[in-house]
């Protein structure tokens, strides 16, 4: 098990702090965003790093970006301290094709699985989640989710084939998880056109910084990983989106900033203060074990 930093691949072109970096669906383009209010897009095919675009338009630090699936036309969503969610579309240059203004900083954006259509969710410090649906035209609804701010959102993955499961429709449900300053993770789904809360995970003692939702390949377990100011990472598992069983991974030595599942859902990347990234994998006894670190010490590969 190894994680190899590509030493020749380091980008350092933003003037302000970098807050997010995401690869597109094919792993060919890299979008980054920063406190310098810009979004940069690089072509990173074959080890190159060519700046393709420098998108200006936000009036504050850009917190997060998210690529849509190519089916939706490779849209890029961004959110910023300037209270806005913006969807950018490329045609020669990048154009703002949609924007929505929350009442406070927008901390997180995420595209729903493309099988559901073009749906974007945004999480704001005003405590609300915005759901923005494109169906000929854009329409938005907001849900009051977390009393003093929502920091992160993640959609339930879409699973066409639930291999070995008796609930074929289960994986096709449109569902969303949000984590906020109220220490809670809430699970939302749409029932007769209304967004309703169907589950809640109460496993942290401080602000939740990031959540990520995966469905493992093979045994199709629904897992939500969450990390928090309380220096913990928790993995919660559910069979019905309503009841969640949580396992705390470890107490880290600093607050934990992001969690990210690998694409097959069996490995979790955890990023703690000063960008110490560690990879975690569940062993046969259901314990999460570290399997790799970077930016820590060179000797422990």
Partner 1 sequence: MKIKQFPNTVVSTWSPKSNYPINIAMGTAAQQLDASFNTSSTLELYSLQSNDLILNALISTDCRFHKLVWGGTNASEEWGSGIIAGGCDNGIIRLYDASKLARNVDSIVAKSDRHVGSVRALNFNLFQTNLFASGASESEIFIWDLHSMSTPMTPGSKSESLEDVIDLAWNNEVQHILGSLFHKYTVVWDLRKNEPIIKLSDNNSKVKWKAMSWNPKVATQVCIASEDDQNPVIQLWDLRYASSPVKHFVGHQKGILSMSWCSEDTDLLISCGKDNRILIWNPSSETEENSLVCELEHNYQWNFEVNWCPRDPLFIATSSFDGQTTLYSLSDLQNSKDQKINENVNTGQFQWSNSLSNAPNWLKRKCGASFAFGGNLVSFDGSLKTIQLNKTVIEPDLLLWSEYLQQILNNGNYEGFCHHKSELTLDDDIQLVWKFLKTMFQNNPKEAQLELLGYSNKTLTKEEFHSNILNTQEENIVTKFENFTLKSSVTNDLQDLLYQSLLVGNLSTAADIFFDNGKPVEALLLAITAGPKTLSRIQNKYLKNSKEPTTALLHAIITNDWSDLVENCDLNCWKEIMTALLTHTNGTNFISSFEKLGNRLAANDNLSLSKYAQLCYICSGNVEALVENIKDIKTIEKLQESVEMAMLLHRSMSSSESHLEVGKKFGELLVNYSETLVSQGDLEGALSFLEFTNKDQGVELKSQVYKALGKNQTIENTINNSQKLLKSNTHDFRKYSTTSATGTITPEPPFPTYPNSYIQDNDVNNLHQNQKPHLSNYPPPIQSQPTYNLNNQQQSVYNNFPPTGTQQYGNNFINQTNMQTKAVPPTPTPDASSRCMTPSSIKPGKPKYVIDPSVKGNNMYGSYNNNGLGMLSPMGQQSGFNSSIGQPHVLNQPLGQQNIFKPSMVQPNCLSQPLGQTNNSIEPLIQQQIQPNIYNPTYNQPKGPVPNLNPQPTFQPIQNNYSQVISPSPNLNQSSSIYNQRAPSVEPFQSLYAPLPSNYIKKSTPAGWNDPPMLSTSAPIQKPPTPVSSTPITHPLYTNNPPPIEEIGTYIPLRNNDEQFSTNNITQGVEALPKQTIPQEHIRIQVILNEIQSRLLEAVPTAPTRKRVMDIAGKVELLYDSIRENSLSSYLIQCLHTMIDLVLKRDYNGAFNIHTQLVSGPEFSKISTFMPSLKTLFQMAYQYNINLEGL
- Using CB under 8 A as the binding rule, the residues of this chain from 181 to 220 that contact partner 1 are 181, 183, 205, 209-210, 217-219
- Using CB under 8 A as the binding rule, the residues of this chain from 42 to 81 that contact partner 1 are 44-46, 59-61, 63-64, 81
In the three-class reduction of DSSP (H, G, I as helix; E, B as strand; rest coil), residue 151 is classed as strand
Of 119-127, 135-143, 169-177, 191-199, which segment contacts partner 1 by CB under 8 A? 119-127
Asked if 9 interacts with partner 1 (CB under 8 A), we say yes
In degrees and rounded to multiples of 5, residue 37 shows phi and psi of 70, 10
Residue 267, Cβ neighbours under 10 Å: how many?
A: 18
Strand partners, 31: 22, 41
Residue nearer to partner 1 on the CB measure, 145 or 175: 145
- Using CB under 8 A as the binding rule, the residues of this chain from 277 to 296 that contact partner 1 are 277, 279, 281, 284, 291-292, 294-295
Residue 77, Cβ neighbours under 10 Å: how many?
A: 22
> From CA 50, how far away is CA 30, in angstroms rounded?
10
> From CA 159, how far away is CA 206, in angstroms rounded?
32
Burial label for 127, CB within 10 Å (0-12, 13-18, 19+), is buried
Asked if 22 interacts with partner 1 (CB under 8 A), we say yes
Residue nearer to partner 1 on the CB measure, 60 or 190: 60
Asked if 96 interacts with partner 1 (CB under 8 A), we say no
Please answer whether residues 110 and 116 qualify as being in contact, where contact means their C-beta atoms are separated by less than 8 angstroms. no
- Residue 61 CB, shortest distance to partner 1, in Å, is 5
Asked if 95 interacts with partner 1 (CB under 8 A), we say no
- Residue 106 CB, shortest distance to partner 1, in Å, is 9
Asked if 127 interacts with partner 1 (CB under 8 A), we say yes
- Residue 176 CB, shortest distance to partner 1, in Å, is 18
In degrees and rounded to multiples of 5, residue 170 shows phi and psi of -55, -45
- Residue 298 CB, shortest distance to partner 1, in Å, is 14
Tokens 């074929």 belong to which residue?
168
């Amino acid at each position: 098990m190894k994680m190899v930093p590509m030493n020749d691949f380091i980008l350092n072109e933003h003037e302000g702090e970098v807050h997010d970096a995401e690869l597109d669906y094919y792993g060919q383009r890299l979008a980054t965003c920063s406190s310098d209010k810009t979004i940069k897009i690089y072509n990173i095919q074959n080890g190159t790093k060519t700046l393709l675009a420098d998108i200006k338009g936000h009036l504050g630090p850009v917190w997060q970006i998210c690529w849509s699936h190519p089916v939706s036309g490779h849209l890029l969503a961004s959110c910023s301290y300037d209270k806005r969610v913006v969807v950018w579309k490329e045609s020669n240059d990048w154009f703002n094709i949609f924007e929505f203004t929350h009442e406070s900083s927008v901390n997180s954006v995420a595209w729903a699985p493309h099988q559901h259509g073009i749906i974007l969710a945004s999480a704001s410090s005003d405590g609300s989640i915005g759901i923005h649906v494109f169906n000929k035209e854009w329409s938005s609804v907001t849900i009051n989710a977390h009393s003093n701010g929502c920091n992160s959102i993640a959609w339930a993955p879409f699973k066409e084939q639930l291999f070995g499961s008796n609930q074929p429709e289960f994986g096709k449900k449109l569902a969303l998880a949000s984590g906020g300053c109220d220490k809670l993770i809430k699970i939302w789904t749409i029932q007769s056109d209304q967004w309703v809360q169907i589950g809640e995970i109460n496993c942290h003692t401080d602000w939740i910084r990031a959540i990520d939702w995966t469905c493992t390949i093979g045994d199709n377990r629904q897992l939500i990983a969450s990390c928090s100011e309380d220096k913990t990472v928790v993995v919660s598992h559910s069979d019905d989106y309503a009841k969640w069983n949580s396992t705390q991974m470890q107490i880290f030595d600093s607050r934990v900033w992001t969690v990210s599942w690998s694409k097959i859902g069996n490995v979790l990347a955890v990023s703690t203060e000063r960008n110490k990234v560690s990879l975690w994998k569940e062993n046969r006894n259901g314990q999460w074990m570290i399997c790799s670190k970077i930016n820590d010490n060179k000797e422990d590969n």
